[in-house]
Homo-oligomer: A and B are copies of this chain.
Amino acid sequence: MGEKTKKQLILEAAAVLFRDKGYPATSMRDLARAVNLQASSLYNHISSKQDILREICFGNARRFLLGIDHIEQHHRSATDRVAALIELHIQIATEDVTSITAFNDEWRHLEEPALTRFREWRKQYEARFRRIIEEGMENGEFRAGDPQITLYTVLSSLRWVYDWYGPNRRVSSGKLSESIINIIMGGLRRGDAKN
């Protein structure tokens, strides 16, 4: 179990470096220095640089998929489900900012076959999210619109939290979710303004 902890330390240090410099610009010597090891000693805990990226990306993909599983089971209306999904993204982002940023920005450096698997998972996640938006549009909870454009606008609007939360924790995770849910659900415009 001493082994296990060391590997975890390496993965965490790698996430920080990948976030700050990106995967290709992070050398195994950088990483070794961060955990007080020689570069060659890293290979007692991980099998390759690519292996580290895969663990980070797959681990986070899993968190999102488990999250949407739970939400589909415990919420019924499209409004509740979208609100819960927004909360999920904020919660994941705020409880492990560095890992999620690496996941978001560096997945494209995955090699095959991991890359295809990762894209598959993401496609599934997006399809389920889009289905919820479509249901909301069909049953009148949401205004009509292009579900794909709506999906990407919502998903994308959550991404800044990954880059921003951490150095700027002046706002609690709960307050942040509430603010963002308000903006996404209700828009900028005041409710009593002209349509």
Main secondary structure of the interface of A (DSSP, over half): helix
Residues of B within 8 A of A153 (CB): 157, 160, 180, 183-184
Is the interface on chain A under 10, 10 to 19, 20 to 34, or 35 or more residues? 35 or more
How far is A160 from B154 in the complex, measured between Cα atoms in Å?
Answer: 10
A66 contacts partner chain B, Cβ-Cβ < 8 Å: no
A35 contacts partner chain B, Cβ-Cβ < 8 Å: no
A171 contacts partner chain B, Cβ-Cβ < 8 Å: yes
A24 contacts partner chain B, Cβ-Cβ < 8 Å: yes
How far is A145 from B150 in the complex, measured between Cα atoms in Å?
Answer: 22
A143 contacts partner chain B, Cβ-Cβ < 8 Å: yes
How far is A145 from B136 in the complex, measured between Cα atoms in Å?
Answer: 25
A8 contacts partner chain B, Cβ-Cβ < 8 Å: no
Q: Does B157 lie within 8 Å of A188, measured CB to CB?
A: no
Residues of chain A in range 145-195 having any CB-CB distance to chain B below 8 Å: 145-146, 149-150, 152-161, 164, 171, 176, 179-180, 182-191, 193, 195
Known: A105-B105, A143-B186, A184-B188. 6 other contacts (CB 8 A): A142-B189, A143-B182, A143-B188, A145-B182, A150-B179, A184-B187
